[in-house]
Amino acid sequence: MLGSGSAGNSALIATDHCKILVDGGLSARQIVVRLEQCGVAPEKLDGVLLTHEHGDHVCGLEVLCRKLDIPVYANALTAEAVRCDSALDRHRNWRIFRTGAEFNICDITVQTFPVPHDAVDPVGFAFRAGARSLGFITDLGYATKMLIERLREVHTLVIETNHDEKLLQNDPHRPWPVKQRIMSRHGHLSNTAAANVIEELLSGKIERVVLGHLSRDCNTPELATGVIRALLAKVGKIDMEIYCATQSEVSPRFRIGETKAGAFQPSFESAFFQTA
Ligand SMILES: [Zn+2]
Ligand SMILES: [Zn+2]
């Protein structure tokens, strides 16, 4: 996780052959600095995948793409929303996928699925490389049945623990309509809601959870981790690894599995529509 929280989100997913960003919601400068901390030169990126068009997921993209011709992967509505009113309209390297599609970026298979959130066509991802996989759901009001099914096989799950319900309800700064939006079925997962999602996945292959997208005012890493730990203690799964990502620092590198050594043979990928 290069950084995660209500003020900005970006993550790096990498194999020996492939480096992709999920969202570009930090300043371009911070993305570059943090990639370098991970030993990745920004011009070596194989793509940026977008979950949805909200500023905390795309705000660094315009400047990043001004300097680099990185392929940007998004569904059509998200691409349209990001491109309107921004210099990204001049970016030529868009790869448009249909929500629900599965495609490859080098040796990483990307599965996309819709998530309920107040954006034009928000998605979550499941990534697979070798025999291991990673689920990625950051902005969603609740977990649909389909989404749970998509995530049953993942070993590591990145999930939002956006807010503590009490802190949000008692927050003096947010007007009621904003609180209602956050708590709605197209808003964000609370710590408890995220715990419920994790509980549903315990019968699957999950062995590590990375918590993210915490609200600065209405949550703390201690509260979020506490709720998840309490759940895992209740069901006797105390060996599960939990990490809470922060806004200001790059997380440790999470090793999800091994991929085959040796050269990777790229294959022709036909899942995309290039847009002019
Ligand atoms: Zn959002
Ligand atoms: Zn967000």
- What's the CA-to-centroid distance between 187 and ligand 1, angstroms? 8
For residue 92, the model assigns a pLDDT of 87
**Ligand closest in space to the Cα of 6:** 2
Query: How far apart (Å, rounded) are the C-alpha atoms in residues 90 and 17?
Result: 28
Average pLDDT in the chain? 94
**Ligand closest in space to the Cα of 141:** 1
For residue 275, the model assigns a pLDDT of 55
pLDDT band of residue 6 (cuts 50, 70, 90) is very high
For residue 130, give the 3-state DSSP assignment.
coil
Please state the rounded mean pLDDT for residues 50-55: 98
- What's the CA-to-centroid distance between 99 and ligand 1, angstroms? 17
Query: Is the model's pLDDT at 52 over the cut of 50?
Result: yes
Express each pLDDT in 138-164 by its tens digit: 999 999 999 999 999 999 999 999 999
- What's the CA-to-centroid distance between 186 and ligand 1, angstroms? 9
- What's the CA-to-centroid distance between 235 and ligand 1, angstroms? 31
Please state the rounded mean pLDDT for residues 44-62: 97
For residue 276, the model assigns a pLDDT of 44
Query: Is the model's pLDDT at 265 over the cut of 80?
Result: no
Express each pLDDT in 82-99 by its tens digit: 998 788 888 889 999 999
- What's the CA-to-centroid distance between 201 and ligand 2, angstroms? 23
For residue 238, the model assigns a pLDDT of 86
Torsion of CA 189, 190, 191, 193, to 10 degrees: -60
- In this structure, how many other beta carbons lie within 10 angstroms of the beta carbon of residue 116? 17
Query: Is the model's pLDDT at 184 over the cut of 90?
Result: yes
**Ligand closest in space to the Cα of 213:** 2
- What's the CA-to-centroid distance between 220 and ligand 2, angstroms? 16
**Ligand closest in space to the Cα of 122:** 1
pLDDT band of residue 267 (cuts 50, 70, 90) is low
For residue 160, the model assigns a pLDDT of 98
Residues in Cβ contact with 118 at an 8 Å cutoff, skipping those fewer than 6 apart: 141, 181, 184, 186, 187
- What's the CA-to-centroid distance between 169 and ligand 2, angstroms? 19
Both tokens assigned to 172: 């003096």
- The model's pTM is 0.95
